[in-house]
Homo-oligomer: A and B are copies of this chain.
Amino acid sequence: MAADATGALGWQDVAALARARLAARIWPPGAIIPPEAELAREFGVSRSTVNRALRALAEEGWLDRRRKAGTRVAERPVHRATLAIPLMRDEVEAAGHRYGYRLLDREVTATPGLLALQLGMRGVPRVLRLEALHLADGRPWAHEERWISPETAPGVFEADFAAQSANEWLVTHVPCSSVEVSVSAERATGRVAAMLECEDGEAILVVERITRQEGRGVTLLRLSHAPGHRIRSTPG
């Protein structure tokens, strides 16, 4: 490793060297870079180490690797930003506020057709619908409307969502695998505007999230944030 006094390189060093060649266009976009074995010889490390380094760069989107075809520099590195999806409580507290939560409504309803479609549910006649408000220092932070499938979240009908937000209950009771997020801007109207204590027609950020467990839908969430809210990607 680099930390060694031996001068031997670790995979992070190899990755850094490769990154430098990419930045300097020594390996220009579209070009095929030397095979692992050759780089291993050049850098004086084993092929595994080169493999680890190039695999990391490929995951970051810089390289495109295919068996036999070799490793190609991506024409245009597909940039990605990652959004963290924290608990509302953490988000509010991280912003320096005191978190508050109020359950507005709770009902067991027949499964809406669109919902069944989005969550990929079949033969689940009834779902739990919740409506809640998240508060920061007592002021509205976000309005939440949520549906939960009892199929993937057993015991959800018995949970006390007046005491604990759905997100917190789900996190501790249902292991989820994938999240799908959709963000849009809408104008606050009617009930949501009233709950958020903002003017009618104000621009608000609406986040819809579908959470799945092994491909089966667990919950659909529609979050209407108070005006002025920002979503930031996590650095890195």
Contact = CB atoms under 8 A, between A and B. Distances in A.
Interface of A: 19, 22-23, 25, 29, 76-87, 171-172, 175-187, 201-206, 211, 213-214, 225, 227-236
Nearest to A213: B23
A114 B78 CA distance: 28
A203 B178 contact: no
13 contacts: A77-B176, A78-B86, A79-B84, A81-B82, A81-B181, A82-B82, A182-B232, A183-B205, A184-B229, A185-B185, A185-B229, A187-B202, A205-B205
A54 B180 CA distance: 24
A81 B23 CA distance: 27
A82 B42 CA distance: 35
A180 B83 contact: no
A230 B84 contact: no
A161 to B, nearest CB: 17
Given A79-B179, A185-B203, 4 more contacts: A23-B213, A79-B85, A181-B232, A185-B206
B172 A29 contact: yes
Given A213-B23, A233-B83, A76 B181 contact: no
Contacts of A86: 78
Given A22-B175, A29-B172, A182 B233 contact: yes
Contact of A179 (B19, B76, B230, B233): B233
**A-B complex: 3 closest residue pairs judged by Cβ atoms:** A185-B185, A203-B203, A181-B233
Contacts of A203: 185-187, 203-204
B204 A185 contact: yes
Contacts of A82: 80-83
